[in-house]
Structures are given as C-alpha cells and as structure tokens.
Structure 1
Amino acid sequence: MTINTVYITPNGIKIEDVVKVAREGYKVALSKESSEAINKARELVDRYVKEERVVYGLTTGFGKFSDVAINKDETGLLQRNLIISHACGVGKPLPEETVRALMLLRVNALSRGYSGIRLSTVNVLIEMLNKGVHPYIPEQGSLGASGDLAPLSHMVLTMLGEGEAYYEGELLSSKEAMEKAGISTIELTSKEGLALINGTQVMTAIGALGVYDAVNLMKAADICAALTMEALEGIVDAYDHKVHEVRGHKGQINTAKNVLNLLEGSQRVTRQGEKRVQDAYALRCTPQIHGASKDAIEYVKSKIEIEINAVTDNPIIFPEQDEVISGGNFHGQPMALVMDFMAIAVSEIANISERRLERLVNPALSNGLPAFLSEKGGLNSGFMIVQYSAASLVSENKVLSHPASVDSIPSSANQEDHVSMGTIGARKASKIIEHAQNVLGMEMMGACQGIDLREKAQLGKGTELAYKSLRAEVAMLKEDRVMYKDINKCVDIIKKAKIINDIEDAIGNLTL
C-alpha cells in the first residue's frame, strides 16, 4: 500500500482516518470492491430511468415537488437545477480541514454502493481531495434534514465548475481552480446531484474532528488538574481508587488513576489532615466531573464512528433486491443529540478548569500563594486578567451549550416538517472545544506559575514533564508583560497534544 493514503473499503473508515485526510494531507483511494459496488448501484439507476419508473429523486422533483414527474430526457437538468438552487449557504467559509473531512465522508458514503452515482463522478471528488481543490462552503444554511443540503451543494458547485474554490492558498472561481489542478468538471446525470448532497456529512465531519479533539482535551484536563494539585498542595486521598470503585463509573475511576499516576513521586501534594482535612470541590471532585464528561464523550464517539460509515441518502438503492426505497436516513437527529451532549460535556471541563484557576489566583483560596500569582502585587497585576479571560470563555460556553436539537422549523411547505439543526449543534460544539482549549491553557500556565512560587520540591513523574514542556515555551512571570502571546503558546501545547504523547510514553496511557 502507498504511504500516506487512506483506502476506502467496504470495511469503512475510522475517525483517525478522517483526521489524517483533513489535517495531515493524506491521499484517498478507492478499493476495487468499493468501485464495483458503486457501478452495481448505478446500473440499477440507469435501468429505472430507462424504464421511466416513478422513483423519488430519479424521475420526480424534490421535497414538496416529489409528486411532479420528470421526463427521462430532463433528469440531468433536474440534478443540475437541484445543485444551483440549493447552494444558498451564508456566513464565513468552513475551515479547510472541515471541507476535506466532509468531502472524504461523502466519498465514503457513496462508495458503499447504495447511492446510484457514477464511479467517474466519485473519482472527481477524490481527485479534488488529492490535488487540493477545496470548495468555498459557507458555514451556515443547513437545517440538518434533508441532510446538509446547502453546504454540500456548494461542494458540488465546484465539481460543476461553478462557485468558488481554494487552490494553493488562493480563492479562485471553481472553473479556474479545477483547470489549474488539471481536473475535469462534470455534468450530472440522473440521481447524482441528490446522491452528492442528501446526507449528514457536514455535521458529521465537524463532529468527527471535534470528538477527536475532545478526547485529547480530556487527557489535557487531567494533566492540568494534576499541575494545579501540585501548585495548591492538593490532598491526594480523594483520588484513592477505593473511593471511585465503590461508585463504579469508568470515567471517574480512570480520571483518579490518571491524576495519581501523573503525581507519582511528588513531594508537593499532601494527605488529608496534614495541612487541611479536605479540598474544595474543584480539586476534590475532579474525578467525578472529568469522569462524567469522559463517559459522555465516549458515547458521542461511538455514535460518530457509526455515522462516518453510514448510508445517509434518499432514496437508497438496493441492487441485490432490485429495489429503490425512499426513507429518511438523511435526518441528522442521531448527530444532533450527540453534538449537544458533547457541547455540554466539554463546557463542564472548561467550567471546572476556570474554578481551579480562580483558586490559584485568589489569595483567600490558594493556600498561601501570593495574590494573582504575582510577587509584587499592586505594581503588577499578574494573572488577574488571565482569570477574567477564562471566565469570559466559560460564560460564552454556557450560552453556546443551549441545545440546538430541541428546535425544529418546518420547511419545504411542511413536507419536511421536523428537522434536526444538527449542523448548528456541531458548529457550537466545535467552538466550545476551542474555548475549552484556551481555558485549559490558561490553567496550565497559572499552575506552573504557582509551582514556581512555592519552595522547590520534587514534582510528580508526569507533572514534571508537563511543567518542563510549558517552561520550554513560556518563562515564569516575574514582572507584568504582554500575556496573550504566552496564552497562545500554552493553548498550542494543548492543541498539538505533544505533551500528552510525551507523558504517555513515560508513565503509560492516560485513559478516558
């Protein structure tokens, strides 16, 4: 097999494959079995059109127009009109990584052999991925049923030579971008336009990248909590495995284990009764709070793993049974609910992180650290406004955590009378993850500052690695300086997850 290629096979793909294509520039290739499945479904579509059977989306209009028959000679025009009329997205363009992810997921769904698209059309989409032609896709406009119609239509515009696309970092007309990349544009034929846009690939792409980041975020949260335990001389008894095993939740048990492993060998943490009887909830209940979010994210991940390999078309072609069935697999409800769940779960991680940061900067709560982590408070503000910024992000997350999936607005003259709003939910969850990464970066920076302000003592096996990683990028704050640059470096450490890999190499996996 070629290095740096994700192969589309009947066995499906994994979330890690989505990340490889979206962020690392992996190429995409179809297996022989997938190509054969695509061709088999297409043969059935061609036969049905030739026989002039009345089948939704093949020989009828769409949505409320499903009762309008279309002449077989006009089925190609029907598909083109579908795309150009549905490309009604607004707002900022989706990031390149999201566009690549959704293109991959659409290829994967089409390759299952239930869509009735031509192999040559799928290959154009693959060629665009492999040569770096990324359609300009506005982020807003999807109801999440019938699938992500508006954004996916913008993807198809580029295949037709319409609309706009990015190529080699430049926004061009799609026609010019395709010509420069050496890719031929296409003319759609029966069923193809509908096959390309009737699915949940936009919300699922955002969700797949989001849940991948959320898993790393949870590991980073445990690292940050352990560093704060070091800075605040936290009590480790509350992390004893016996406490968590009698409750039984997996995420809680694993969080306690992770933190204790990170703190192994530390001379800074304390035992109950040594300096205090117990810590506040932000330290003592970290396993319960992190653990609940971890369990939620595991559930979300399991649903996204299903959806990235799902057939979400309408109608669905069943070549073996010689049947075409109009159904509702395009409905985004399975993704809508889990996107809202992930948003809430990650919001809580930012929430407790900010509370730990507050304990670091507040002299009434920090167990002896100077106010706002500054040795010359008054002349210097220290970390005062770092906590402000974290609080602002946490507050915004609370607004964004309002579920999108509980809303529905009827569309297409009430033919489509319940929609998921799943893409709105996915976009919100993605923004919350970004905010949480920032808050954790601020906590990590504050914790390391607190550690430096204590008397020197041995750090834990894992926390020492984390401390050194941060200090390699950000120096201790001795006098006030421009802080946003330091924050950005800390957030970058969280996002890149190198710190996680280094720690796992040293002390073993941090488990969810």
Structure 2
Amino acid sequence: MTNQAPEPIIFGERPLSIEEVLALSNRQRPTALQSDKDYRQRIAKGAQFLDSLLDKEGVIYGVTTGYGDSCVVAVPLQHVEALPRHLYTFHGCGLGKLLDAQATRAVLAARLRSLCHGVSGVRVELLERLQAFLDHDILPLIPEEGSVGASGDLTPLSYVAATLSGERDVMFNGERRPSADVHRQLGWDPLVLRPKEALALMNGTAVMTGLACLAFARADYLLKLATRITALNVVALQGNPEHFDERLFAAKPHPGQMQVAAWLRKDLAIDAPTAPLHRLQDRYSLRCAPHVLGVLADSLNWLRGFIEIELNSANDNPIIDAEAERVLHGGHFYGGHIAFAMDSLKNLVANVADLLDRQLALLVDERYNHGLPSNLSGAAADRAMINHGFKAVQIGTSAWTAEALKNTMPASVFSRSTECHNQDKVSMGTIAARDAIRVLELTEQVAAAALIAANQGVWLRSRDTEARPLPPVLAAMHAQLREDFPPVIEDRALEGELRLCLKRIADQHWRLHA
C-alpha cells in the first residue's frame, strides 16, 4: 500500500491556521493557489481599479505620492512605475542574523495569505510567484533586524519584494545564489512590480506574524514536555501525587490548570495505590506545577486568536476596495496584537524555565532529593569523590534560566518616534517576536537538561529494591530516553547529548499529551 501524497494547502479565500503555517515551514505539505475564475477575477479587479485611478490622475498614497512622511510629495505619472523599485531598494538596509529557512517559509506564507484577500491592489501574477517561491523553496535571505513593527515589517520584507524582482540573494537547493540566476534557471522572468505592489508586499506584519506562528507551536509542545518532566521528577523525588487530585482542582477551576493536573494524574497513574509519603506537602516547584504551567495552557487559547486573526487579515495600507471603487487609507500595518501576544508569551515561557530550573535544583541537592546521590551521580561508592554528575549541567541551566528571565522585558512599551515623526507610535512587534523565539530557545535548553536529569533521577530511584514500578506512561518514556541518553555513571561531557535532546524537542519527537 503506497502512502498518499499530502493534501496541498490552498491559498485563497479560506483561512490559514497556525498548524498549516508550521506544516509549510517544515516542508510537510505542498501549496496551491485558489484557481477558480471568480476568485482570480476578483484579485485582478483590484489592480485594474488602481490602473483606472492612474488614468484619472487620482491621488493614492504610495502610488502617486512618496512614502511615509513624504506622502505630501506628489509623484508625476512618468515616475510612478519606478516608485516600487525605489521602495524596496532604499529599505535594503537590514542587519543582524538571517532568518532561518523555517522562519522564512513562515514569512512567505503569512505575506501570501494577507495578499490573497484581494484588497491590496496586486496582480494574480504576484500571488502566483509568491506561491511558486514557497513551492520551489526559494527563500529570500532576510536579515532579522531593522523593523519597528509599523509601517509593518518594511525593511525585512523589502528582501521579499527585491528577490521576486530578481534582485538580492536567495537560498535555493541549499546554496546561496543571486535571485536573478535562480529565475533564469527556472525559465522565469523576474517580476516588474506594478504601482502599489512593492508597498503591498512590504507594508504589513508578515515577519512578526510568521515568527509568532512558530513561537506558538514551540510553546504548545514545551507546555506538554514540561508537564511530562514534572511527572518524572515527582517519581524521582518521591513526591506526593495527591497534589494533583481532581477534587482539589475543581475548587479552583482554571481550565488550563485543570488540564495540566489531569495530564499529571494520567502520567503518574494517580488512582493506583501510592507509596508512603516523605512529606505532606512538596515544595512549590512540584506542588504548584499545574498552577505555573496552567497559566500558559490557558493563555494559548487567546494567543491563538490574536495570531490567527492577524495571519488571516489584510494588513497593508492603503486598502483597495475595488467593488466600491474606494481607496481606504488606514494603519492596518500596526502590529500591536502580535507585539502584545509575543511579549506575553515570553513571560509565560520564561516561567516554565524557572519552574524546571527549580525542580532540577531539588534533584541534584542531597538535602532535598530524598536519598538520591549528590548531583545525580551514578558512580560507585569508591569513585564517588571524583565524580560530579550533573553539577555543571545545573549551573548551565541556572545561566539559561537567568537569561530567559532577563529577556522578558516587554518590547511593545519601547515605541520610538521615527521617520520624521510620521511613524510616531510603533508596535515593536517584530522585536517582541524575536525576543519570544530567544526565550523559547533558552527554555528548551533548560527543558533538555531537566529531561535528561529527571530520567537519570528515575533510573537512580529504580535501583532501590523497594521502589514502585513506574506507571506505564512514564515507563515507556523512560525506555525511550535511555536509548538516546544512557545513565551517567562515570562523568562524561554531556554537550552532545544535550544538543541531541534539543533536536528531539525541535522535531517534537516524543508523543506527549493530546
């Protein structure tokens, strides 16, 4: 029986989900453009309406005027065709690291989805070329720094506009190449952007929104992984599973908090007979784990709403209403919702880092780990004095946690007036999204260390002849983990294993809670 090819994701009138952006970013599904005649005629009508206004010498921002503060400068009709190229050219000043391939695909998907609304005044040919870039995996090389998040992501998106026009560089088949060369190889003519098309490509929130989609998906998996790590640590520390009793959480019924507690009950098989308890109440990093992780669980629902509404919006300026023959000048390029969502997410995720860091601190400390060896070392007694187990890993975890916490300062409150005080209140949404990605990177490092250490703690506890058998879910996870991360008996450098664990997290390798 042959595997069926995955269904293409259709760009057109239908909305796009975060999960579909993630699938496109990981090259798991192909793309297609809505092909029915009515839809394509509706897209074309916007560009035709703009052309008719040019024939009448109408005043349209960014088409017959300069950009931003220069909107008061009239552009004679003989120069209108040159204006789009000037826009992406003078914005070619991005700095910093380049967006990686996954992020770049998310950006292309977000920009294409926005333009598919048919109110941006672009041709069908532009949508087709953007879709072809996704389909052929032609990735503009986009510097990640230089956007204040209103008028949208102008500078980073200029690299999309320029490469569609056969300028600047792209990644294609694993090589950095001039966009013009790739166009020639594929037999394409580079686009000559029409009036409004460069502005439509650049004057929007696609970079921050694409990054937000990826950040959301990572945070969602991290929530489930942190719950599983907590369950392993309850076993390793001989914690009290009654802290997660269903009746207890019915008294304070935040849905996400209740969900995390339910996941912990399932992992720990809480209905089974329990071993004698070391204490009535565990320390907060175990006892309050549902309360910490539950805030993230509850927040993901409204974060999804913010992100998916932005993803499925027309967010450039001006909006072209070809049906009513109106040009609507506004500020949909302002990324305030994404800025707030990402500022919130980095706070939520950093709290996960802090929780797991505290659990690891209990695990390695003989005063609090209920009989486990110091620093989780598995060395025999006659070699214990020269082995240090997870001592340095715990120090590193503390460093990563501190950096994650430091990066929770909200970006959106650092609005700065720019561009001759035309852009005098800006969102900083792209900086917030980049911050959120960085906090996620650091927290995933904490999670990798905490997971390997928790697994070591479970292994050490299992050597006790009186230890209870592991609950089925945790037994399966423990067996999986031991395939990649054997017990630390004699000291060894753990960098390679930590990096492997990070790759497993990035690939969402372990099947966790539904």
Q: Does the 8 Å contact 1:408/1:419 carry over to 2? A: yes
Please give the residue correspondences for 1:94-109 in structure 2 after superposition, counting only pairs within 5 Å: 94-109=99-114
In 2, Cα distance between equivalents of 1:378 and 1:489 = 29
Q: Does the 8 Å contact 2:275/2:468 carry over to 1? A: no
Q: Does the 8 Å contact 1:103/1:129 carry over to 2? A: yes
Q: Residue 166 of structure 1: which of 155, 158, 171 is its match?
A: 171
In 2, Cα distance between equivalents of 1:83 and 1:270 = 67
Counterpart code for 2:130:
L
What does the per-residue CA deviation read over 1:340-391, in whole Å, with 9 as the maximum and x for residues that have no partner?
A: 0000000000110010011111111111111000144331110001111111
2:397 match: 390
Is residue 203 from structure 1 mapped to residue 191 from structure 2 by the alignment? no
Counterpart code for 1:130:
D
1:343 match: 346
Is residue 495 from structure 1 mapped to residue 506 from structure 2 by the alignment? yes
- Which deviates more from structure 2 when the two are superposed, residues 259-268 or residues 121-130? 259-268
TM-score (norm: length of structure 2): 0.94
2:149 match: 144
In 1, Cα distance between equivalents of 2:415 and 2:57 = 36
Aligned partner of residue 24 in structure 1, secondary structure: coil
Q: Does the 8 Å contact 1:229/1:283 carry over to 2? A: yes
1:468 match: 479
Pairwise CA distance, 1:270: 4.5
What does the per-residue CA deviation read over 1:281-307, in whole Å, with 9 as the maximum and x for residues that have no partner?
A: 000000100001222232212211111
- Which deviates more from structure 2 when the two are superposed, residues 36-45 or residues 107-116? 36-45
Is residue 433 from structure 1 mapped to residue 436 from structure 2 by the alignment? no
Pairwise CA distance, 1:491: 2.5
Pairwise CA distance, 1:72: 2.3
In 1, Cα distance between equivalents of 2:133 and 2:479 = 42
Q: Does the 8 Å contact 1:394/1:435 carry over to 2? A: yes
Q: Residue 415 of structure 1: which of 416, 419, 422 is its match?
A: 422
In 2, Cα distance between equivalents of 1:28 and 1:447 = 41
Counterpart code for 1:442:
A
Q: Does the 8 Å contact 1:267/1:458 carry over to 2? A: no
In 1, Cα distance between equivalents of 2:369 and 2:186 = 58
Counterpart code for 2:438:
K
Q: Does the 8 Å contact 1:252/1:292 carry over to 2? A: yes
Q: Does the 8 Å contact 2:149/2:429 carry over to 1? A: yes
In 1, Cα distance between equivalents of 2:199 and 2:501 = 45
Aligned partner of residue 176 in structure 2, secondary structure: strand
1:221 match: 226
In 1, Cα distance between equivalents of 2:452 and 2:61 = 58
Aligned partner of residue 170 in structure 2, secondary structure: strand
1:275 match: 278
Counterpart code for 1:361:
V
In 1, Cα distance between equivalents of 2:458 and 2:101 = 39
Aligned partner of residue 397 in structure 2, secondary structure: helix
Q: CA RMSD in A?
A: 1.7
Aligned residues: 501
In 1, Cα distance between equivalents of 2:105 and 2:197 = 20
Q: Does the 8 Å contact 1:227/1:448 carry over to 2? A: yes
Aligned partner of residue 327 in structure 2, secondary structure: strand
CA, structure 1 residues 34+15, in 2 after alignment: closer, same or farther (shift >3 Å)? farther
Pairwise CA distance, 1:34: 4.2
Unpaired runs of at least 5, structure 1? none
Q: Does the 8 Å contact 2:8/2:29 carry over to 1? A: yes
Please give the residue correspondences for 1:244-263 in structure 2 after superposition, counting only pairs within 5 Å: 244-263=249-268
Q: Residue 114 of structure 1: which of 112, 119, 124 is its match?
A: 119
2:236 match: 231
1:289 match: 292
Q: Does the 8 Å contact 2:378/2:488 carry over to 1? A: no
Unpaired runs of at least 5, structure 2? none
Pairwise CA distance, 1:403: 0.7
In 2, Cα distance between equivalents of 1:182 and 1:461 = 57
Aligned partner of residue 166 in structure 1, secondary structure: strand
Q: Does the 8 Å contact 2:241/2:270 carry over to 1? A: no
1:369 match: 372
2:310 match: 307
Aligned partner of residue 97 in structure 2, secondary structure: strand
What does the per-residue CA deviation read over 1:159-188, in whole Å, with 9 as the maximum and x for residues that have no partner?
A: 111111111111112211322343321111
TM-score (norm: length of structure 1): 0.95
CA, structure 1 residues 292+200, in 2 after alignment: closer, same or farther (shift >3 Å)? same
Pairwise CA distance, 1:27: 2.4
Q: Does the 8 Å contact 2:167/2:178 carry over to 1? A: yes
Q: Does the 8 Å contact 1:227/1:463 carry over to 2? A: yes
1:354 match: 357
In 1, Cα distance between equivalents of 2:408 and 2:99 = 21
In 2, Cα distance between equivalents of 1:9 and 1:133 = 20
Is residue 481 from structure 1 mapped to residue 486 from structure 2 by the alignment? no
Counterpart code for 1:494:
I
In 2, Cα distance between equivalents of 1:446 and 1:350 = 14
Counterpart code for 1:302:
G
Q: Does the 8 Å contact 1:303/1:338 carry over to 2? A: yes
Is residue 68 from structure 1 mapped to residue 73 from structure 2 by the alignment? yes
In 2, Cα distance between equivalents of 1:280 and 1:372 = 19
Q: Does the 8 Å contact 1:236/1:270 carry over to 2? A: no
Pairwise CA distance, 1:265: 6.5
1:450 match: 457
Aligned partner of residue 92 in structure 1, secondary structure: strand
1:298 match: 301
In 2, Cα distance between equivalents of 1:396 and 1:182 = 48
Q: Does the 8 Å contact 1:35/1:111 carry over to 2? A: no
Pairwise CA distance, 1:494: 2.5
Pairwise CA distance, 1:331: 0.3
Aligned partner of residue 234 in structure 2, secondary structure: helix
What does the per-residue CA deviation read over 1:436-469, in whole Å, with 9 as the maximum and x for residues that have no partner?
A: 1111111111111111112253111221121111
Q: What is the percentage of aligned positions where both structures have the same residue?
A: 33
CA, structure 1 residues 3+276, in 2 after alignment: closer, same or farther (shift >3 Å)? closer
Counterpart code for 2:371:
G
What does the per-residue CA deviation read over 1:66-94, in whole Å, with 9 as the maximum and x for residues that have no partner?
A: 01111223211011101101121111110
Is residue 12 from structure 1 mapped to residue 23 from structure 2 by the alignment? no
1:42 match: 47
- Which deviates more from structure 2 when the two are superposed, residues 426-435 or residues 176-185? 176-185
Aligned partner of residue 32 in structure 2, secondary structure: strand
In 2, Cα distance between equivalents of 1:481 and 1:120 = 57
